[in-house]
Every structure is written in C-alpha cells, then in structure tokens.
Amino acid sequence: MVRVRIAPAPTGALHVGTARTALFNWLFARKHGGCFLLRIEDTDRERSKPEFVEQILEGLMWLGLDWDEEPIYQSQRLQLYRDEAQRLLEEGKAYQCFCTPEELEERRKYMLSQGMAPKYDRHCRQLDESDRKRLMREGRKYVLRFAMPIEGEISFYDLVRGEISVRNEELDDFVILKSDGFPTYNFACVVDDHHMRITHVIRGEDHIPNTPRQIHLYTALGYEVPRFAHLPLLLGSDRSKLSKRHGATSLLEYRKIGILPEAMFNFLALLGWSPGGLEGEEIFSRDELIERFDITHVKPSGAIFNFEKLLWMNSQYIRMCDIKRLTKLCMPYLRDANLISDTPSESEAKLVERSIELVRDRMKLLSEAPSLCDFFFREPVEYDSGGVQKWLTKEGVDELLEELAIRLEGLEQFDAKTVESTLRKLASERNIQAAHIIHPTRVAVTGKTVGPGLFELMEVVGKDACVRRLKKCVMWIRENLRAKRCST
C-alpha cells in the first residue's frame, strides 16, 4: 500500500510551499488508495513552538488535508534514534567525532583558502580505540558521524526528474547524533520514514542534496529504500524563491484575508502540475484532481505563485459558493467593520445574506465584503468624488432626485421592478435618458459609482432608507454645489 507523509518543522507558520507539498502527498495517497501521514519534526528545542504546531494542524485541516493515523512527534521518539545510531556505531558504520567547533571552523577556513569545497576531513575516523578512550576520559564531548563510503557513486530515480547520480567522494561524513543526544534531520528522517513504512517520499527540490546521504543511511540500517519525487520550488513573480518580500507566505494569512479553502486547494494543485488533455480548464473539484493526479507529470522547473491568479480563482469559487455558507463566512468581516452586531438578529442575518448575494460577483476576497456592501447597513458618510463631479454637479439633478424620492415614498409595493418602472417613467416624462437619473441615484443611495444592479440593491436597502438618502443628497447638493455655482 502507498504510504506518504508531510513532515513540517514547527519553527514558524505553515508556509504555502509546505502546504503545496502536503497537498501533492495527499492527492497521491488518495489517488492510489493509500495513507497520508503527518509527522511533526520538533527536535529543534530552541525554535520549535507549540503555537506553530497548532497553526500547522489548523492550516492542514482548513485545506481539508486529513491524515489517516495519529501524528508522529519526533521529540517523543528520541530513544529510537539513539538506539539506531548506537547500532550503526557497533557495526562500524558510524564513529565518534571529538572535533571542537573551533577546530572544525579552522579547517573549514583552510579548505576555502585552498579553493576546496569545505567538508569534514574525517579526522576522527582515523582514531584508534585508545585515542577514543583517552578523549572520553578527558570529558571531551562528541557527536556520532556516519561513515560514508569513500569510493563509487550513489544513484536514484526521481519520479519528477529522472535519474540522479552523485559521486560518494563529494559527500562528507555527516553528523547523525549531536552531543546532546538529539538526532540530526537526515538521520531522524530516515529512521522515521522506515518505521512509518513510507513508500514514497514526495518533497521539495531543496531536499535533493539530502537524498544520497539518506539512501546510504537506508542501506546501512538495512531498511528498504522508498521512491523519491522532488517537487519544484514556488517562485515569486520575479522568478526568485518565494519569500515574504513577494507578499504573504503563511497559509493562514490567506485564510485571514478571505481566500476560500477550496480555491487555495485548486490553486496549489496547479502549481507545477496540470491535468493532461484539458487545455484552458482551471477549475477542478477535489475528486477531479484526485482522479487525474499523476506525480510523473509534475514539471521540474519552478512554479510561479501568481497572487492575481489566486484572486481570480477565489472569485470563481465565491460565485459558486452556497449563499448561506458564504454569508456565514463574510459575517466576521462585517462585524469587525462594525456593520452588524455581534449576534445578528434573524432580520439582520437575512439582510446580510441578501446583500452578499448581490455583491458576490464583484468579490475577490471575503475581506472585501465590508467595502462592497457597507451601504446596505449604513448611510454613506461621503460621496465618491468622481461621482460627484460627473453626476451631482449637473444642472437640475437635485430636482430630479427630489421628485424621485417623492414618487418612491408613495409606492405601496417597493421592489426592484416597481423602482425601475418609477424611475424610467420619470425619465420619460422629463424627456431624458434613464442613465441621467440612475447614476446620480446610485451615488445618493450608496455613495459609490459602481456596484450591483441599482434597482435590486434599492429593494434590499428598503423604501424608507432610499427615500431618506435621496432627500439627504438633495440637501447636500443644494448646500455644497448650488452655493458654489451661485458664487461663481
């Protein structure tokens, strides 16, 4: 059975690159009826924080990447790593290194001065037993290093990149167990992947240099070597590695600004991979992505994280979203903007739903809800300057708005249809285009020049509020604009 894993370190928020790697692992597992596992690599005692563990779990759950077994925490498996390291030591496949940091730094500088690539010179590999015992009696701290084969080469087939070979002489005797008894990344990773029965290791291309070392460890420990696939890195718009200077990199930051999880899922799935034979199609359900996912079709070159593309995709999912769910998701943003109460009444909740239904086609982020539909909940405090200049400065516009207010006030039934017929009748009687009333009415009622259909939004705003806003705008025109015209 296929068994894959995602193994984040809780030293920071869940990066979108890690989320994409998790998603590809999840798709691969679901495609092949396998298991998707979670391992928390929390052996860095200084940088690992419980709050980052919570954010990782929260982010994966938000994306819908459910894991099939209890999460593994490396900090709870230290004895396992120590036992396996001791086994390598006893079998002569690892050795104690007593070199101090100062000695290692001195040798590193020397190698650099000679134009050599700095790596451990295997000094302690040559020590005899008497030297080791003497150094231990002196209380010298030591690490355990892996005794790397010196000759030959190591090769492996990458499911994304094909055959990769490295000469063993390019690899150094890396540390597997630190002096404090904690394992290094490469060693703990191999031991865990074996004991978790991982069949495929799918991870970022930045781990390619680790793979030859890990394969040597698999062999030395007598483990079966899994298959490897190294995904392309995520790049910013300038094709450099995605970082904070390109914008948000934390997955939960995107949730905060109002990206839907299904939009992020779809977007991340297409970074470096695309379903074959579907040119131009970009919106896919989870089931469609699972059915079509093929790890061998992942492109080896870097994938650009295009935020504008994510916004477009999110807008498509907002349009498809069930209105009741969308309303619920938008409410926190409306609360934070003080547009609705903390515990909306039934009528207030209905108003939110009707307003969101009207503005959803213009929404790219859930966080845009307040700016798109604030006028449904309160009168405009100011009018768009462009709208004022273009529509409210026209001669006679105040009389038109005043007459419209009078006619609307007299309506027994106030809905989009009757509002439209009333406005168009007024335009016909005055022998003007309806647009000359529609646009200033929009500015008066909403304070804006663009938005959802005027007649539909006026129905939701309600008769009393619309009439009041029209009259208020008439007064504003006469106090601010007519006075200016008279003075000139």
Report the CATH number at residue 416. 1.10.10.350
Q: Active site residue: 133, 241, 244, 299, which one?
A: 244
Residue 167 host element (H or E): strand 162-167
Residue 168 pLDDT: 96
Residue 363: CATH number of its domain:
1.10.8
Asked if residue 358 is part of any domain, the answer here is yes
Residues 409 and 474 in one domain: yes
Q: Determine the pLDDT at residue 35.
A: 99
What pLDDT, on the 0 to 100 scale, is given for residue 483? 59
What average pLDDT does the structure give for the chain?
A: 95
User: Does the annotation mark 471 as catalytic?
Assistant: no
Q: Where are the alpha helices (DSSP H) in 376-461?
A: 385-387, 397-409, 416-429, 435-446, 454-461
Averaged pLDDT for residues 119-148: 92
Let me know if residue 190 belongs to a domain: no
- Percent share of the chain, pLDDT over 70: 98
Do 357 and 444 have their domain in common? no
- Residue 126 within any structural domain of the chain: no
The predicted-structure confidence for 432-480, as pLDDT tens digits, reads as follows: 999 999 999 999 999 999 999 999 999 999 999 999 999 999 999 999 9
Q: Are 304 and 237 in contact (CB under 8 A)?
A: yes
What is the token pair recorded at 176?
A: 């597997």
Write down the residue that tokens 């439209």 correspond to: 420
- Which has more pLDDT, 101 or 262? 262
Least confident of 100-109, 142-151, 332-341, 419-428: 100-109
Q: How confident is the model at residue 285 (pLDDT cuts 50, 70, 90)?
A: very high
* Per-residue pLDDT at 405 exceeds 80: yes
The pLDDT value given to residue 25? 99
Q: Is residue 196 part of a domain?
A: no
Q: What is the mean pLDDT of residues 133-155?
A: 94
Looking at the predicted structure, is the pLDDT value of residue 381 above 70? yes
Residues 389 and 352 placed together within one structural domain of the fold:
no
Q: How confident is the model at residue 486 (pLDDT cuts 50, 70, 90)?
A: low
Read off the pLDDT of residues 196-250 as tens digits, 9 standing for 90 and up.
999 999 999 999 999 999 999 999 999 999 999 999 999 998 888 888 777 778 9
Q: Which domain holds residue 417?
A: 385-487
Question: Rounded distance, CA 294 to CA 282, Å?
Answer: 16
| 378 vs 450: CA distance, rounded Å | 17
485 — pLDDT class (breaks 50, 70, 90): low
> Is position 102 within any domain?
no
Residues 376-396 have a mean pLDDT of 96
In a shared domain, residues 334 and 312: no
Residues near 332 by beta carbon (within 8 Å), at least 6 away in sequence: none
For residue 32, tell me if it sits in a domain: yes
217 falls within a domain: no
**What whole-number distance in Å separates Cα of residue 332 and Cα of residue 339?**
10
